[in-house]
Each structure stands twice: as C-alpha cells, then as structure tokens.
C-alpha cells in the first residue's frame, strides 16, 4: 500500500491542521492534531468528519 501513495505523500497534508501525514497500514496519520484518516478500497478518505482520534497506545 505504501508504494501506491509514496509520490503523493509528500504533497498531502492534514485537512484539519495542514500538518504532515504519515502512512501506517491503512491510515494516514497526523500526529499534530492526533487524527487518523482511513484508506478504504485504496482511496484515502481525507475528510475531517471521517477521521478517528488516535488512541494513547498509537502515539
């Protein structure tokens, strides 16, 4: 999955805080605002209302 998104990862930012996103498994994660955005069927869902809060053990 990471290979598919390597080119666009450098230009994507968090929709909420415009911070850096990191790709981990099937999530784009923003550690600044502690949100993670899902990738469903190969499509990143970068909508704030679809984001999940990071759990304390995910930091």
Domain ranges of the chain: 2-58
How would residue 8 be classed by pLDDT, with cut points 50, 70 and 90?
A: confident
How would residue 1 be classed by pLDDT, with cut points 50, 70 and 90?
A: low
In the prediction, which pLDDT does 38 show?
97
32 CB-near residues (< 8 Å, 6+ apart):
14, 17, 19, 20
- Contact of 1 with 25, CB cutoff 8 Å: yes
CATH of domain 2-58: 2.20.25.10
pLDDT digits (tens, 9 = 90+) for 31-40: 999 999 999 9
3-state class of 27 per DSSP?
strand
Q: What angle do CA 25, 52, 3 make, to 5 degrees?
A: 20
pTM of the model: 0.87
Q: Assess whether pLDDT exceeds 80 at residue 3.
A: no
- Contact of 12 with 22, CB cutoff 8 Å: no
Q: pLDDT higher for 59 or 11?
A: 11
What whole-number distance in Å separates Cα of residue 40 and Cα of residue 19? Answer: 21
């Amino acid at each position: 999955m990471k290979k598919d998104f390597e080119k666009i990862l450098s230009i994507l930012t968090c929709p909420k805080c415009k911070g850096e996103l990191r790709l981990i498994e099937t999530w784009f994660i923003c550690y600044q605002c502690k949100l993670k955005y899902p990738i469903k069927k190969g499509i990143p869902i970068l909508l704030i209302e679809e984001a999940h809060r990071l759990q304390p053990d995910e930091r």
